[in-house]
Amino acid sequence: MLVKLKRLAEGWFESSARSLLKAGLTPNMATIIGLALAAASAYLYFRGAESFTLTILASILLLASGFFDAVDGVMARVSGGGTKIGSLLDSVLDRYGDALVIFGITLGYIEVELLGLPMGFWGLAALFGSILVSYVRAKGESLGLTTAGIGFAERPERILLVAASGFFLRPDIGILIIAFLANLTAIQRFLYLLRNI
């Protein structure tokens, strides 16, 4: 869903990318900034389980991380095309960012039970689903097929879900939703690849 919206907002992202390049940032620096913001967000979610201010700030930082995640690829294209190292860095650091945020929220809300199951269960389920969404996409690309736009919970959607739930002071609910939707997305992509190989 957000991949389609991202295409509509491409002009804005391109303008932002050019501004960041003029400011001296490289695409790889933007990727690293995105990870740093995700790590800071994860820490604040962990520390802010009972703090309105920290939870809201964590959500703002997570959205900023998502912005840099969206704009680093545009920066690479605008500056003449990405590199293999940049692509590798982006993929790996995005997974670390996902994991850190999920861990931060899970640990911060570790005593919470949702739907009769402990938060640790939902955190692991969200982590597995998030990793599998990316893995199935990568495997599809290695087979010459793309799964971009397939499924309900690609990375931009997951970031927005967690941030939105954080603004309502319940990022644990965001993790619960991601646990369902990310695994559903991974299954959707897997079935799509099976049909199209």
Quote the pLDDT of residue 7: 64
CATH 3.40.50.9100 fits 2-196, yes or no: no
Residue 189 and residue 29: Cα distance in Å, rounded?
Answer: 31
Query: If we measure between CA atoms, which residue out of 165, 172, 61 comes closest to residue 106?
Result: 172
Neighbours of 111 (CB within 10 A): 9
Assess whether 172 carries a catalytic annotation: no
Task: Quickly list DSSP for 95-134.
Answer: HHHHHHHHHHHHHHTTT-EETTEEHHHHHHHHHHHHHHHH
Query: Distance between alpha carbon 167 and the CA centroid of its chain, in Å?
Result: 17
Quote the pLDDT of residue 119: 98
> Cα–Cα distances in Å, from 33 out to 6, 73, 159?
20, 13, 16
Quote the pLDDT of residue 197: 85
Task: Quickly list DSSP for 9-58.
Answer: THHHHHHHHHHHHHTT--HHHHHHHHHHHHHHHHHHHHHTTT-HHHHHHH
Structure tokens at 4: 């389609």
User: Which is catalytic among the residues 72, 90, 94, 172?
Assistant: 94
pLDDT in tens, the chain (197 residues): 555 565 667 777 888 989 999 999 999 999 999 999 999 999 999 998 889 999 999 999 999 999 999 899 889 988 887 788 998 999 999 999 999 999 999 999 999 999 999 999 999 999 999 999 999 999 999 999 988 778 888 898 999 999 999 999 999 999 999 999 999 999 999 999 999 98
Quote the pLDDT of residue 22: 93
Quote the pLDDT of residue 160: 94
Quote the pLDDT of residue 4: 59
Quote the pLDDT of residue 15: 86
